[in-house]
Structure 1
Amino acid sequence: MRKQYDLIWIGTGQATMSILPRALAAGKKVAVIEADKFGGTCVNSGCTPTKTLVAAARAIFQAKRGDDFGFSIGELNVDFKKVMAPQIFARNRANKGIEFSLSQHPNCTVFKGLGQFVDEHTVSVAGQVLAGEYIVINVGSRARDVDTPGASSVQWLNNHSLLDLKELPEHLAIVGGSYIGLEFAQIFRRFGSKVTVFERGPQLMFREDQDVALIAEDVLKSEGIDIVYQSHVCQVSALLQGEQEKVHIQYKHEGEDKSLDTSHILFAIGREPNSDRLNLSNANIQMNSRGFIEVNEVVQTNQPHIYAIGDVNGQGAFTHTSVNDGEIFWDHYSCLVGLNKEHPELDRTLATRNMIYAMFIDPPLARIGMNETEARKTEKNILIATLPMERIARAREKQETKGIVKILIDKQSEQIVGATVFGTGGDEVIGVFAAFMQTKMSYKHLRRTVFPHPTVGELMPWILDDLTLLKKHN
């Protein structure tokens, strides 16, 4: 016998607790399906635990900088188990809290197990069949499978398993020089591990401007992290040295065969959607060639009553984009079912979202909209203004002067079309540009804005005095 629901919600990523309380408060009968731990990637293997580790690593790093500020604390000892404990506690508290909150609501029924489509309106889970008037797919993504020869012979790590380490790696090799890999590289170097990063390309963070990547390289190398560019890990194997099992890595560096022995290896080679676990073909839901569920501007699939939000739709791989997807869904859904009668005209869509993100190395790198490299390829006339962080008084006062700020303006519309803030406070300052870009106002209004002194943000309006026309690539 099928159980009927107003809304079936498959997967409990971060949009869940932003949106479901609204549906439940409106009296909707909701079924929630979760195959793993509640809260998705952010809570269990992403933001919550990793930023807890970032904070610990920064505290250790700052303690070692005593000489820069005129004090000494003597020998510094890191207790790895104690360092890891807060992130374990944080993720356990978060996922259990989400599960408890949903389970206790009278309008919500929680089903534990893998949800799979039977047809367009029906989902099976744990031997039960559920029917939904509307369905939301929120199953996220996972670390990409490792197909490196020999990987099955070693205990390789991904971003999830790394968080359960009981002992500090003596030497951590990281395959992948992008956001996840670099955050962990700095974290574990500051904890005391030797760290080597293998990057296939000629620069770190391939999506960023070359000068930005070079600053990141300088930051990481100054802390003792080894970076091997133009490298390809060809094979890994287990190597016993005394009573310790090592990882023997064979790799090519600029075409030359080389090898390295490490205690641990982390593969940070990207993520893939969990769409392959849902039997989407039974519901005739369309995916692209990479397995992401195709959606329109209001995150509907080709089945109008089925929505796909978060990482699984390929429209953003961040917690904040997942949450925003949820809000786009709610705007559309609440109008369809008559919950939003005051504002029938919808203006929140994927097209109105400015892509924004931050990478939490220290100092953090944050960006919204296009970067300089992308701007040079557009047909528009773009104005650019830049400022090294070393020229910002607040950065000098904190003795954290590495980084750069870039602001990009569409000359014709006078709108800000992109900003990069790489440096102390960048992860917070970028929000100024996010809010301002949403207004679509002329940058001249930002120029007239007064910020408190002394802050990093106070220099953002002043940078605009030095706008110049960006030259195009030939």
Structure 2
Amino acid sequence: MKKYDAIIIGAGQAGTPLARKLAKAGWRTALIERRKIGGTCVNDGCTPTKTMIGAAREAYMAGRAQRFGIPSDPSHIDLRKVKARKDEIVGQAVDGLTKSIGSTKNLDYIEGQAAFSGMKTIEVNGETLQADNIFINTGARPGIPDIEGLHTVPYLTSTTILDLTETPKHLCILGAGYVAMEMGQMFRRFGAQVTLLEKNTRILGKEDEDVAAEIHKILEEDGITICCGAELRKVSTSNDQILLELNGRQLTSSHLLIAAGRTPNTGDLGLDKTGLRTTGNGIIPVNEKLETGVPGIYAMGDVKGGPAFTHISYNDYIIISKNILEQQQRTIRDRPVPYCMFTDPELGRIGLTEQEAREQGKNVLIAKIPMTKVARGVESGDTRGLMKALVDKDSGLILGAAILSVAGGEIMSVVQMAMMGGLRYDQLRDGVFAHPTFSESLNNLFMSIDP
């Protein structure tokens, strides 16, 4: 049996930096990964998808170039080259992480499937490891719904679709959440016919209705068909096509992408050997310090539930490392949860939605302008979208914002900094920003409250 001070299961965006931090602090540490270092973000999440979305935007801009007096013809997309560039960038990221881990003293990197064999013991590759402190960062995988016939057809997931080398003729996407939005627009720009299937009455149910409606309009302008109230009941194949039987209609497609949520990777960890119990959907419950019900065992990132974002996983690492190594008392309570949906224009979100604010009984002022009122948007030809912010009428503090714009995430980050610093909306309204920038339009946004 090999003894360590810490064992980390999963080399994702929390596990990898935590392993290096603990090892540099003198802890003998084992980092176990069954797939590839970097986790979902580096291998089949943020890095590859945003690389390919970048290529899709280039195709979109080339298609619009003639409006600006620039001849261009993007009619022939070479998806093999798009994929090759994506693979190269992912490979560079993986290589960098591998070298960083390999050069860290006190750190053993082990490739293999880890499973608990006892309260504080781990089996991997036929060896038994033991540590008083164990950190679970195993992430999540695409969830596959129980639909009749689904396992008889060659469906795609958000992972496997990134390896296509030819553009689908007709891509149907089950789901209309953030992954579906990004993938749908991307492959539409690569030349595919795209249909989104959403069982609810509208897309993006967690967003305000006006924001979701604007995104719906933008995607339809891009030529995407969105079917709300569409419940997929059965799937089969017919004449090399995928036959989709919905409530009240049938569709055929060349490809089917399942984008219906994600499932925590906990089923093969042997958690029962520790006394840990997961929720019905496989999530490991934790307290506000990311401790599980077993002392010395922690869960980080997507596997613990909550916001499933890379930056949240990384912040989990910050909280745990500060608490363990510096005896701080950091928690996840009230931490900001910014996020972006990388459609084009992209959606940057921070804080409360209007619906959440009203449910909490807030006395709310709404600031809102269309991007057609943003000078930089008009000048650059990017006027799709809107800016929206919520203000507490009593204090003047900003409660939240939704920025649907080119560079929406960057503009949202300016608002987030104001919220973190406790600035009132009128300080942004009257603030001096460089002209002409997108962020300068925060002046105009908050002027909409006091015209």
Q: How far apart are residue 420 of structure 1 and its match? A: 0.6
- Over residues 62-110 of structure 1, what are the superposed CA-to-partner deviations in whole Å (9 max), with x where a residue is unaligned? 0010222112224632111112111122223323432343234331111
Matched-pair contact (CA < 8 Å) for 1:286–1:301: no
User: Are 2:287 and 1:288 equivalent residues in the alignment?
Assistant: no
* In structure 1, distance between residues paired with 2:2 and 2:429: 58
| Residue 368 of structure 2: aligned partner | 386
Task: Confirm or deny: 8 A CA contact 2:66 2:72 kept in the other structure.
Answer: no
Q: Deviations over 1:357-410 (max 9, x none)?
A: 110110001111111122221222122211111101011111111111111122
| Among candidates 245, 251, 254, match of residue 246 of structure 2 | 251
Q: Matches of 1:304 and 1:442 in 2, distance apart?
A: 42
Unaligned runs of 5+ in 2: none
Cα distance in 1 for residues equivalent to 2:16 and 2:407: 28
Cα 1:223–1:154, aligned 2, differ >3 Å: closer, same or farther? Answer: same
The answer on 1:439 being equivalent to 2:439 is no
1:313 to 278, 300, 304: 304
| Aligned residues of 1:19 and 1:326 also touching (Cα < 8 A) | yes
Match of 2:235? 236
Counterpart-to-counterpart distance in 2, 1:133 and 1:364: 44
Partners of 2:394 and 2:227 in 1: CA distance: 43
- The residue aligned with 2:3 is 4
Single out whichever of 226-235 and 95-104 deviates more from structure 2.
95-104
Aligned counterpart, 1:339: none
What is the one-letter code of the residue matched to 1:419?
Answer: A
* Aligned position for 2:33: 34
Structure 1's unaligned 5+ residue stretches are 337-343, 469-474
Displacement of 1:17 in angstroms is: 3.8
TM-score (norm 1): 0.91
User: Are 2:371 and 1:356 equivalent residues in the alignment?
Assistant: no
Match for residue 322 of structure 2? Answer: 331
Cα 1:71/1:168, change in 2 over 3 Å? same
Number of residues paired by the alignment?
450
3-state SS of the aligned residue for 2:387?
A: strand
Asked if 1 retains the 8 angstrom alpha-carbon contact of 2:346 and 2:404, the reply is yes
In percent, how many aligned pairs have the same letter?
38
Cα offset, 1:22, TM superposition: 2.2
1:175 corresponds in structure 2 to 174
CA distance in 2: counterparts of 1:74 and 1:112, whole angstroms: 46
The 5 A counterparts of 1:75-114 are 76-114=75-113
Match of 1:208 in 2: 207
- Over residues 247-276 of structure 1, what are the superposed CA-to-partner deviations in whole Å (9 max), with x where a residue is unaligned? 111111xxx2x1111111001000011122
- Residue 460 of structure 1 and its aligned partner are, at CA, apart by 1.1
Q: Structure 2: how far apart are the matches of 1:124 and 1:296? A: 26
TM-score normalised to the size of structure 2? 0.96
Q: Please give the alpha-carbon distance, in whole angstroms, between the structure 2 residues aligned to 1:225 and 1:447.
A: 37
Residues 217-249 of structure 1: CA distance to partner in whole angstroms, max 9, x if unpaired? 111111111111110111111222xxxx21111
Q: Which amino acid aligns with 1:386?
A: K
Residue 224 of structure 1 is matched in structure 2 by 223
Distance of 2:298 and 2:424 partners within structure 1: 35
| SS at structure 2 position matched to 1:361 | coil
Does the 8 Å contact 2:235/2:243 carry over to 1? yes
Structure 2 distance, partners of 1:268, 1:356, is 22
Equivalent residue number for residue 155 of structure 2:
156
Alignment CA distance shift 1:84-1:69 (3 Å): same
Deviation at 1:144, TM superposition (A): 0.3
- Per-residue CA deviations over 1:7-66 (Å, capped at 9, x if unaligned) read 111101112343333222222211011111111111111100000011000000000102
